A and B are shown apart, each in its own frame.
Chain A
Amino acid sequence: MTVSVIQFGGSNCDRDAVAALTHLGVDAERVWHEDGLPADTDGVVIPGGFSYGDYLRAGAMAARTPIVAEVREAAEAGTPVLGVCNGAQIGCESGLTEGAFTTNRSARFQCEHVHLRVERADTPWTAAYDEGAVIEVPIAHGEGRFEIRADRLETLEAENRVLFRYCDADGNVTDAANPNGSTANVAGVLGARDSVAVMMPHPERATLPDVGGTDGQGVLRAFAE
Protein backbone atom coordinates (compact mmCIF):
# COMPACT_ATOMS: atom_id res chain seq x y z
CA MET A 1 0.00 0.00 0.00
CA THR A 2 1.48 3.33 -1.08
CA VAL A 3 -0.47 6.27 0.26
CA SER A 4 -0.21 9.59 -1.58
CA VAL A 5 -0.51 12.55 0.76
CA ILE A 6 -1.45 15.45 -1.46
CA GLN A 7 0.32 18.73 -0.85
CA PHE A 8 -1.14 22.04 -2.01
CA GLY A 9 0.33 25.45 -1.43
CA GLY A 10 -0.77 26.10 2.15
CA SER A 11 -1.13 22.47 3.25
CA ASN A 12 0.53 22.09 6.64
CA CYS A 13 -0.39 18.64 7.95
CA ASP A 14 1.15 16.70 5.06
CA ARG A 15 4.36 15.87 6.96
CA ASP A 16 2.36 14.93 10.07
CA ALA A 17 0.25 12.54 7.99
CA VAL A 18 3.33 10.89 6.46
CA ALA A 19 4.96 10.59 9.91
CA ALA A 20 1.83 9.04 11.41
CA LEU A 21 1.36 6.57 8.56
CA THR A 22 5.06 5.64 8.62
CA HIS A 23 4.75 4.98 12.36
CA LEU A 24 2.00 2.47 11.56
CA GLY A 25 4.22 0.79 8.97
CA VAL A 26 2.35 2.23 5.98
CA ASP A 27 4.37 3.39 2.98
CA ALA A 28 3.39 7.03 2.45
CA GLU A 29 4.79 9.93 0.46
CA ARG A 30 3.97 13.54 -0.14
CA VAL A 31 2.78 14.37 -3.66
CA TRP A 32 2.83 17.94 -4.98
CA HIS A 33 -0.59 18.52 -6.52
CA GLU A 34 0.76 19.77 -9.85
CA ASP A 35 2.64 16.49 -10.36
CA GLY A 36 -0.60 14.50 -10.47
CA LEU A 37 -1.49 11.29 -8.70
CA PRO A 38 1.33 8.66 -8.97
CA ALA A 39 0.36 5.49 -10.82
CA ASP A 40 1.18 3.28 -7.81
CA THR A 41 -1.21 5.11 -5.50
CA ASP A 42 -3.20 2.65 -3.38
CA GLY A 43 -4.59 5.21 -0.97
CA VAL A 44 -4.99 8.99 -0.72
CA VAL A 45 -4.84 11.41 2.19
CA ILE A 46 -5.92 14.99 1.61
CA PRO A 47 -4.26 16.64 4.60
CA GLY A 48 -5.10 19.65 6.71
CA GLY A 49 -3.86 23.19 6.24
CA PHE A 50 -4.95 26.32 4.47
CA SER A 51 -4.76 25.45 0.77
CA TYR A 52 -4.88 28.55 -1.42
CA GLY A 53 -5.03 30.67 1.73
CA ASP A 54 -8.68 29.63 2.25
CA TYR A 55 -9.57 32.11 -0.51
CA LEU A 56 -13.28 32.25 -1.39
CA ARG A 57 -14.14 29.37 0.99
CA ALA A 58 -11.90 26.87 2.76
CA GLY A 59 -11.12 24.14 0.24
CA ALA A 60 -12.93 25.76 -2.69
CA MET A 61 -9.88 26.30 -4.88
CA ALA A 62 -8.10 23.02 -4.16
CA ALA A 63 -11.33 21.10 -4.82
CA ARG A 64 -11.22 22.28 -8.44
CA THR A 65 -7.62 21.31 -9.23
CA PRO A 66 -6.86 18.52 -11.74
CA ILE A 67 -5.42 16.22 -9.06
CA VAL A 68 -8.69 16.23 -7.15
CA ALA A 69 -10.47 15.13 -10.34
CA GLU A 70 -7.99 12.23 -10.39
CA VAL A 71 -8.71 11.51 -6.72
CA ARG A 72 -12.44 11.40 -7.49
CA GLU A 73 -11.84 8.86 -10.25
CA ALA A 74 -9.64 6.78 -7.95
CA ALA A 75 -12.29 6.97 -5.21
CA GLU A 76 -14.97 5.76 -7.62
CA ALA A 77 -12.68 2.84 -8.50
CA GLY A 78 -12.44 1.89 -4.81
CA THR A 79 -9.16 3.50 -3.71
CA PRO A 80 -9.43 4.53 -0.04
CA VAL A 81 -9.50 8.32 0.35
CA LEU A 82 -9.34 10.21 3.67
CA GLY A 83 -9.78 13.99 3.93
CA VAL A 84 -8.75 15.57 7.23
CA CYS A 85 -9.61 19.14 8.29
CA ASN A 86 -8.84 21.24 5.17
CA GLY A 87 -8.92 17.89 3.37
CA ALA A 88 -12.47 17.41 4.65
CA GLN A 89 -13.43 20.86 3.39
CA ILE A 90 -11.88 19.97 0.02
CA GLY A 91 -13.77 16.65 0.06
CA CYS A 92 -17.12 18.36 0.52
CA GLU A 93 -16.33 21.14 -1.94
CA SER A 94 -15.37 18.56 -4.58
CA GLY A 95 -18.45 16.41 -4.08
CA LEU A 96 -16.50 13.42 -2.71
CA THR A 97 -18.75 13.75 0.33
CA GLU A 98 -21.98 15.59 1.03
CA GLY A 99 -22.54 18.78 2.97
CA ALA A 100 -20.18 21.66 3.68
CA PHE A 101 -17.88 22.78 6.47
CA THR A 102 -18.26 26.47 7.24
CA THR A 103 -17.54 29.10 9.90
CA ASN A 104 -17.57 27.83 13.51
CA ARG A 105 -20.52 28.93 15.64
CA SER A 106 -18.00 30.83 17.80
CA ALA A 107 -16.63 32.69 14.73
CA ARG A 108 -13.21 31.77 16.15
CA PHE A 109 -10.40 29.40 15.26
CA GLN A 110 -10.57 26.57 17.78
CA CYS A 111 -7.65 24.36 18.73
CA GLU A 112 -8.59 21.84 21.41
CA HIS A 113 -9.12 18.17 22.20
CA VAL A 114 -12.59 16.78 21.58
CA HIS A 115 -14.37 13.47 22.07
CA LEU A 116 -15.89 11.61 19.16
CA ARG A 117 -18.42 8.79 19.21
CA VAL A 118 -17.78 6.07 16.64
CA GLU A 119 -21.11 5.75 14.84
CA ARG A 120 -20.13 2.74 12.75
CA ALA A 121 -17.42 0.16 13.32
CA ASP A 122 -17.93 -1.73 10.05
CA THR A 123 -15.91 0.65 7.86
CA PRO A 124 -12.18 0.55 7.04
CA TRP A 125 -11.74 3.76 9.07
CA THR A 126 -13.31 2.45 12.24
CA ALA A 127 -12.68 -1.31 12.17
CA ALA A 128 -10.21 -0.83 15.06
CA TYR A 129 -12.97 0.56 17.31
CA ASP A 130 -16.24 -0.72 18.70
CA GLU A 131 -19.48 0.92 17.64
CA GLY A 132 -20.31 3.58 20.22
CA ALA A 133 -16.68 3.82 21.39
CA VAL A 134 -15.46 7.27 22.47
CA ILE A 135 -12.11 8.49 21.18
CA GLU A 136 -10.19 11.67 21.98
CA VAL A 137 -8.56 13.59 19.13
CA PRO A 138 -7.63 17.23 18.49
CA ILE A 139 -9.44 19.74 16.32
CA ALA A 140 -7.82 22.86 14.86
CA HIS A 141 -10.14 24.80 12.58
CA GLY A 142 -12.07 28.00 12.06
CA GLU A 143 -14.47 26.54 9.51
CA GLY A 144 -15.56 23.18 10.82
CA ARG A 145 -19.30 23.60 11.31
CA PHE A 146 -20.99 20.88 9.27
CA GLU A 147 -23.94 22.16 7.29
CA ILE A 148 -26.23 20.14 5.07
CA ARG A 149 -29.73 20.53 3.65
CA ALA A 150 -32.28 19.01 6.00
CA ASP A 151 -33.50 16.48 3.43
CA ARG A 152 -29.93 15.43 2.62
CA LEU A 153 -29.16 14.96 6.33
CA GLU A 154 -32.14 12.63 6.55
CA THR A 155 -30.75 10.59 3.64
CA LEU A 156 -27.22 10.64 5.08
CA GLU A 157 -28.47 9.29 8.40
CA ALA A 158 -30.85 6.79 6.77
CA GLU A 159 -27.93 5.47 4.73
CA ASN A 160 -25.79 5.33 7.87
CA ARG A 161 -23.05 7.52 6.41
CA VAL A 162 -22.26 9.52 9.57
CA LEU A 163 -18.91 8.19 10.79
CA PHE A 164 -18.21 10.29 13.91
CA ARG A 165 -20.20 12.69 16.09
CA TYR A 166 -18.90 15.11 18.71
CA CYS A 167 -19.80 13.85 22.17
CA ASP A 168 -18.81 14.23 25.81
CA ALA A 169 -16.33 11.92 27.56
CA ASP A 170 -19.17 9.46 28.28
CA GLY A 171 -20.35 9.31 24.69
CA ASN A 172 -23.40 11.55 25.06
CA VAL A 173 -24.04 13.56 21.90
CA THR A 174 -25.01 16.94 23.38
CA ASP A 175 -24.98 20.55 22.28
CA ALA A 176 -22.43 21.34 25.01
CA ALA A 177 -20.08 18.76 23.49
CA ASN A 178 -20.46 20.26 20.02
CA PRO A 179 -17.37 22.48 19.59
CA ASN A 180 -18.38 24.32 16.44
CA GLY A 181 -22.15 24.13 16.03
CA SER A 182 -22.08 21.28 13.52
CA THR A 183 -25.49 20.04 12.37
CA ALA A 184 -26.39 16.90 14.37
CA ASN A 185 -22.89 17.03 15.95
CA VAL A 186 -21.45 15.54 12.76
CA ALA A 187 -17.63 15.44 12.84
CA GLY A 188 -16.99 13.04 9.97
CA VAL A 189 -18.94 11.43 7.14
CA LEU A 190 -18.56 8.73 4.53
CA GLY A 191 -18.80 9.29 0.79
CA ALA A 192 -20.81 7.23 -1.67
CA ARG A 193 -18.49 4.30 -0.83
CA ASP A 194 -17.36 3.34 2.66
CA SER A 195 -13.78 3.65 1.36
CA VAL A 196 -14.15 7.46 1.21
CA ALA A 197 -14.29 9.48 4.42
CA VAL A 198 -13.75 13.04 5.59
CA MET A 199 -13.44 14.37 9.13
CA MET A 200 -12.56 17.69 10.74
CA PRO A 201 -10.63 16.26 13.76
CA HIS A 202 -7.02 15.17 13.23
CA PRO A 203 -6.33 11.43 13.65
CA GLU A 204 -2.73 11.94 12.49
CA ARG A 205 -2.16 14.24 15.49
CA ALA A 206 -3.30 11.46 17.82
CA THR A 207 -1.14 8.65 16.44
CA LEU A 208 2.45 9.16 17.61
CA PRO A 209 2.66 8.30 21.34
CA ASP A 210 5.09 11.18 21.96
CA VAL A 211 2.61 13.92 21.03
CA GLY A 212 -0.23 12.99 23.35
CA GLY A 213 -2.80 10.31 22.72
CA THR A 214 -3.01 7.53 20.17
CA ASP A 215 -6.78 7.29 19.73
CA GLY A 216 -6.51 8.39 16.11
CA GLN A 217 -4.43 5.41 15.04
CA GLY A 218 -7.48 3.33 14.23
CA VAL A 219 -8.56 5.69 11.46
CA LEU A 220 -5.19 5.54 9.71
CA ARG A 221 -5.03 1.76 10.12
CA ALA A 222 -7.47 1.64 7.20
CA PHE A 223 -4.38 2.09 5.05
CA ALA A 224 -2.49 -0.71 6.81
CA GLU A 225 -4.91 -3.38 5.59
Chain B
Amino acid sequence: MTGYTATVTVRLKHGVLDPEAETTARALERLGFELEDLRSADRFEIDLDAADADAARERAGEMADRLLANPTIHDYEVAVEARE
Protein backbone atom coordinates (compact mmCIF):
# COMPACT_ATOMS: atom_id res chain seq x y z
CA MET B 1 0.00 0.00 0.00
CA THR B 2 1.17 3.50 -0.80
CA GLY B 3 0.08 6.79 0.70
CA TYR B 4 -1.66 9.17 -1.72
CA THR B 5 -3.33 12.54 -1.58
CA ALA B 6 -6.38 12.66 -3.81
CA THR B 7 -7.51 16.17 -4.66
CA VAL B 8 -11.18 16.40 -5.63
CA THR B 9 -12.22 19.68 -7.22
CA VAL B 10 -15.99 20.25 -7.38
CA ARG B 11 -17.35 22.98 -9.66
CA LEU B 12 -20.76 24.13 -10.76
CA LYS B 13 -21.59 22.83 -14.22
CA HIS B 14 -21.16 25.31 -17.02
CA GLY B 15 -24.27 27.46 -17.24
CA VAL B 16 -25.46 26.97 -13.64
CA LEU B 17 -25.95 30.35 -11.98
CA ASP B 18 -23.36 31.09 -9.26
CA PRO B 19 -24.67 34.01 -7.16
CA GLU B 20 -21.82 33.73 -4.65
CA ALA B 21 -19.18 34.04 -7.37
CA GLU B 22 -21.03 37.01 -8.89
CA THR B 23 -21.16 38.71 -5.50
CA THR B 24 -17.46 38.03 -4.95
CA ALA B 25 -16.58 39.42 -8.38
CA ARG B 26 -18.55 42.60 -7.66
CA ALA B 27 -16.78 42.99 -4.30
CA LEU B 28 -13.39 42.70 -6.04
CA GLU B 29 -14.46 45.36 -8.53
CA ARG B 30 -15.47 47.63 -5.65
CA LEU B 31 -11.92 47.21 -4.35
CA GLY B 32 -10.68 48.57 -7.68
CA PHE B 33 -9.66 45.32 -9.38
CA GLU B 34 -10.38 44.76 -13.06
CA LEU B 35 -11.61 41.28 -13.98
CA GLU B 36 -13.58 39.60 -16.74
CA ASP B 37 -15.21 36.79 -14.80
CA LEU B 38 -14.81 34.75 -11.65
CA ARG B 39 -15.66 31.11 -10.95
CA SER B 40 -15.45 29.45 -7.56
CA ALA B 41 -14.88 25.78 -6.74
CA ASP B 42 -14.61 23.52 -3.71
CA ARG B 43 -11.40 21.55 -3.29
CA PHE B 44 -11.08 18.50 -1.04
CA GLU B 45 -7.66 17.04 -0.23
CA ILE B 46 -8.03 13.43 0.90
CA ASP B 47 -5.13 11.46 2.35
CA LEU B 48 -5.57 7.74 1.80
CA ASP B 49 -3.64 4.51 1.35
CA ALA B 50 -4.17 2.44 -1.79
CA ALA B 51 -2.53 -0.33 -3.85
CA ASP B 52 -1.76 2.11 -6.66
CA ALA B 53 -2.69 5.52 -8.02
CA ASP B 54 -5.61 4.15 -10.05
CA ALA B 55 -7.15 2.56 -6.97
CA ALA B 56 -6.74 5.84 -5.06
CA ARG B 57 -8.34 7.77 -7.93
CA GLU B 58 -11.23 5.34 -8.11
CA ARG B 59 -11.97 5.58 -4.39
CA ALA B 60 -11.84 9.38 -4.43
CA GLY B 61 -14.14 9.40 -7.47
CA GLU B 62 -16.63 7.26 -5.58
CA MET B 63 -16.48 9.73 -2.67
CA ALA B 64 -17.32 12.52 -5.09
CA ASP B 65 -20.18 10.54 -6.62
CA ARG B 66 -21.71 9.61 -3.29
CA LEU B 67 -21.26 12.82 -1.29
CA LEU B 68 -18.83 15.54 -2.33
CA ALA B 69 -20.57 16.52 -5.58
CA ASN B 70 -24.24 16.78 -6.52
CA PRO B 71 -24.56 15.52 -10.10
CA THR B 72 -27.53 17.81 -10.79
CA ILE B 73 -25.38 20.93 -10.50
CA HIS B 74 -21.73 19.84 -10.26
CA ASP B 75 -18.85 18.47 -12.31
CA TYR B 76 -15.74 17.25 -10.55
CA GLU B 77 -12.20 16.16 -11.30
CA VAL B 78 -9.80 14.02 -9.31
CA ALA B 79 -5.99 14.36 -9.20
CA VAL B 80 -3.80 11.89 -7.30
CA GLU B 81 -0.28 12.35 -5.97
CA ALA B 82 1.91 10.01 -3.92
CA ARG B 83 2.35 11.29 -0.39
CA GLU B 84 5.85 11.77 1.04
Closest CB-CB distance, B15 to chain A, in whole Å?
9
Closest to A63 in B: B67
A148 CB contacts on chain B under 8 angstroms:
72
Among the stretches B18-26, B28-36, B50-58, the one at the interface with A is B18-26
Determine whether B17 belongs to the interface, using a CB cutoff of 8 Å to chain A.
yes
Interface residue tally for chain B (C-beta within 8 Å): 13
Selected contact of A105 from candidates B19, B70, B72, CB within 8 Å: B19
- Contact residues in B for A64 (Cβ distance below 8 Å): 66-67
Known: A105-B17, A106-B19, A107-B19. A149 touches B67 (CB 8 A): no
CA distance A152 to B68 in the complex (A): 22
The reply on B16 being an interface residue by CB < 8 A is yes
- Point out which of A64, A100, A103, A105 has the most chain B C-beta atoms below 10 A from its C-beta: A103
- Closest CB pairs A-B (n = 8): A107-B19, A100-B72, A107-B23, A103-B19, A147-B73, A100-B73, A100-B70, A107-B20
| Chain A interface residues toward B at CB < 8 A | 56-57, 60, 64, 92-93, 98-100, 102-107, 145, 147-149, 152, 181
Q: List 17 A-B contacts (CB under 8 A).
A: A64-B66, A92-B72, A93-B70, A98-B72, A100-B70, A100-B72, A102-B73, A103-B18, A104-B19, A105-B17, A105-B19, A106-B19, A107-B20, A107-B23, A145-B17, A147-B16, A148-B72
